[in-house]
Amino acid sequence: MSDTIILEVARFNPESDAEPSYESFEVPLRPDWMVLDGLNHIKDQLDGSLAFRWSCRMGICGSCGMMVNGVPTLTCETLLMNYAPGPVRVGPLDHFPVVRDLVVDLDDFLAKLQKVRPWVVRKDDFKPAREFIQSPAQLESFHQFSLCINCTLCYAACPVYGLDPNFIGPAAIALAHRYNLDSRDQGIEDRLDIVSRHEGIWDCTVVGECSTVCPKHVDPSLAIQQYKLTATKEWFKSFLLPRGKH
Amino acid sequence: MAQYTQFQPKAYRPRMSAYWYLDQWHYLRYALRESSSFFVAYFCVLTLVQLAALGAGAGRYAHFEALMRCPLMIIINAVALAFFLLHSITWFNLVPRVAMRQMLGRPTPDMVSSAPNYMVWFGATVILALFFLGVL
Amino acid sequence: METSSHDILIIGGGGAGLRAAIEIAELDPKVDVAMVSKVYPMRSHTVSAEGGAAGVAGKDDSVDEHCYDTISGSDWLGDQDAIEFFCNEIPKELLRLEHWGCPWSREPDGRIAVRPFGGMKKMRTWFAADKTGFHLLHTLFQTSLKYATIARYDETFATRLLVEDGAVRGVVAIELRTGKIRAIQAKAVIIATGGCGRVFPFTTNANICTGDGMALAYRAGAPLKDMEMVQYHPTGLPFTGILITEAARAEGGWLLNKDGYRFLQDYDLGKPTPTPVLRSMELGPRDRVSQAIFGEFEKGRAFHGPYGDYVHLDLRHLGEHKIETRLPMVRELCLKYENIDPVREPIPIRPVQHYMMGGVHTDINARTSLNGLLAAGEAACVSINGANRLGSNSLGEILVFGARAGRSAIETVRASGSGNETAILAQARDEERRLEENFLHKTGGAERIAKLRDEMQRAMESGCGIYRERNSLVASANKLRELRERAANLAIDDHTRTFNTQLTAALELGYMLDVAEAIVHSALDREESRGAHQRRDFPKRDDQKYLAHSVAHQAAEGPPRIEYHPVVITRWPPGERVYGR
The CATH number covering residue A196 comes to: 1.10.1060.10
Q: Are residues A112 and A231 in the same domain?
A: yes
pLDDT in the model for residue B101:
56
pTM of the model: 0.94
pLDDT in the model for residue C296:
97
Q: Are residues A95 and A139 in the same domain?
A: no
Q: Are residues A204 and A135 in the same domain?
A: yes
Chain A residues 38-67 with CB within 8 Å of chain C: 43-45, 48-63
pLDDT at B69 over 60: yes
Which of A15, A70, A205 has the CB atom closest to B23's CB atom?
Answer: A70
Say if A245 falls within a structural domain: no
Say if A84 falls within a structural domain: yes
Say if A194 falls within a structural domain: yes
Domain ranges of chain B: 21-132
**Which fold does the domain B21-132 belong to in CATH?**
3 helical TM bundles of succinate and fumarate reductases (1.20.1300)
Confidence of residue B109 (pLDDT cuts 50, 70, 90): low
For testing contact with chain C, the best of B3, B6, B7 (most C CBs within 10 A): B7
Residue A141, exposed/middle/buried by CB under 10 A (0-12, 13-18, 19+)? Answer: middle
User: In angstroms, what separates the C-alpha of A213 from chain C's closest C-alpha?
Assistant: 16
Q: What is the spatial distance between Cα C498 and Cα C225, in angstroms, rounded to a whole number?
A: 36
Asked whether the beta carbons of residue B98 and residue A97 sit closer than 8 angstroms, the reply is: no
Who's near C90: CB < 8 A, 6+ residues apart?
Answer: C53, C54, C55, C56, C66, C396, C399, C400
Q: How many domains does the structure of chain A reveal?
A: 2
Which of A71, A137, A208 has the CB atom closest to B105's CB atom?
Answer: A137
Confidence of residue B116 (pLDDT cuts 50, 70, 90): confident
Q: Are residues A46 and A95 in the same domain?
A: yes
pLDDT digits (tens, 9 = 90+) for C344-397: 999 999 999 999 999 999 999 999 999 999 999 999 999 999 999 999 999 999
Residues of C in contact with B7 (CB under 8 A): 178-180, 497
Confidence of residue B56 (pLDDT cuts 50, 70, 90): confident
**Whether C187 contacts C412, CB under 8 Å:** yes
Peptide bond into A196 cis (omega under 30): no
Cα-Cα-Cα-Cα torsion A135, A141, A147, A151, nearest 10 degrees, comes to -160
Q: Are residues A113 and A230 in the same domain?
A: yes
Asked whether the beta carbons of residue A184 and residue C449 sit closer than 8 angstroms, the reply is: no
Q: Are residues A99 and A112 in the same domain?
A: no
Interface contact B5, partner C, CB < 8 A? no
Asked whether the beta carbons of residue B6 and residue C497 sit closer than 8 angstroms, the reply is: yes
> Among all residues of chain A, which has the CA nearest to that of C205?
A56
pLDDT in the model for residue B105:
46
pLDDT in the model for residue B97:
62
Tell which residue, A17, C165, A109, C284, has the closest CA to residue B10: A17
Q: Tell me which residues of C are annotated as active site.
A: 233, 249
Q: What is the spatial distance between Cα C364 and Cα C78, in angstroms, rounded to a whole number?
A: 12
Confidence of residue B98 (pLDDT cuts 50, 70, 90): low
pLDDT in the model for residue C398:
98
User: In angstroms, what separates the C-alpha of C48 from chain A's closest C-alpha?
Assistant: 7
Residues of B in contact with A141 (CB under 8 A): 102
Q: What is the DSSP letter of A145?
A: G
User: In angstroms, what separates the C-alpha of B2 from chain C's closest C-alpha?
Assistant: 14
Q: Among A104, A125, A141, where does a domain finish?
A: A104
- CB pairs < 8 Å spanning B and C: 11
Q: How many CB atoms lie within 10 A of CB C445?
A: 16
Q: Which portions of chain A are predicted below pLDDT 50?
A: 244-246
Domain that holds residue A11: 4-104
Return the sign of the alpha-carbon dihedral for residues A76, A81, A83, A86: positive
pLDDT in the model for residue B89:
86
Q: What is the spatial distance between Cα C70 and Cα C83, in angstroms, rounded to a whole number?
A: 7
Tell which residue, C302, C301, C315, has the closest CA to residue C254: C315
Contact partners for chain C, using 3 or more CB pairs closer than 8 A, are A, B
Interface contact A143, partner C, CB < 8 A? yes
Asked whether the beta carbons of residue C105 and residue A139 sit closer than 8 angstroms, the reply is: yes
pLDDT in the model for residue B93:
77
Which of A51, A58, A149 has the CB atom closest to C501's CB atom?
Answer: A51
Helix/strand/coil percent split, chain C, to 5: 40, 20, 40
Asked whether the beta carbons of residue A133 and residue C499 sit closer than 8 angstroms, the reply is: no
Who's near A97: CB < 8 A, 6+ residues apart?
Answer: A104, A105, B11, B12, B13, B14
Q: What is the spatial distance between Cα A200 and Cα A169, in angstroms, rounded to a whole number?
A: 7
pLDDT in the model for residue C417:
81
Q: Are residues A137 and A230 in the same domain?
A: yes
Peptide bond into C306 cis (omega under 30): no
Q: Which portions of chain C are predicted below pLDDT 70?
A: none
Q: Are residues A118 and A175 in the same domain?
A: yes
Cα-Cα-Cα-Cα torsion A41, A42, A48, A53, nearest 10 degrees, comes to -80
Q: Are residues A183 and A234 in the same domain?
A: yes
pLDDT in the model for residue B104:
45
Q: Are residues A201 and A95 in the same domain?
A: no
Residues of A in contact with B35 (CB under 8 A): none
Which of C47, C95, C111 has the CB atom closest to A60's CB atom?
Answer: C47
Say if A161 falls within a structural domain: yes
Which of B16, B34, B102 has the CB atom closest to A141's CB atom?
Answer: B102
Q: Are residues A136 and A234 in the same domain?
A: yes
Q: H/E element holding A90?
A: strand A88-91
CATH of the domain at A16: 3.10.20.30
Tell which residue, C222, C205, C240, C147, has the closest CA to residue C14: C205
Q: Are residues A115 and A219 in the same domain?
A: yes
Q: Among A84, A104, A124, where does a domain finish?
A: A104
Say if A35 falls within a structural domain: yes
Residues of B in contact with A208 (CB under 8 A): 26, 30, 94, 97
Asked whether the beta carbons of residue A207 and residue B14 sit closer than 8 angstroms, the reply is: no
**Whether C403 contacts C144, CB under 8 Å:** no
Q: Among A81, A104, A127, where does a domain finish?
A: A104
Say if A246 falls within a structural domain: no
Say if A42 falls within a structural domain: yes
User: In angstroms, what separates the C-alpha of B57 from chain A's closest C-alpha?
Assistant: 43
| SS3 state at C566 | strand
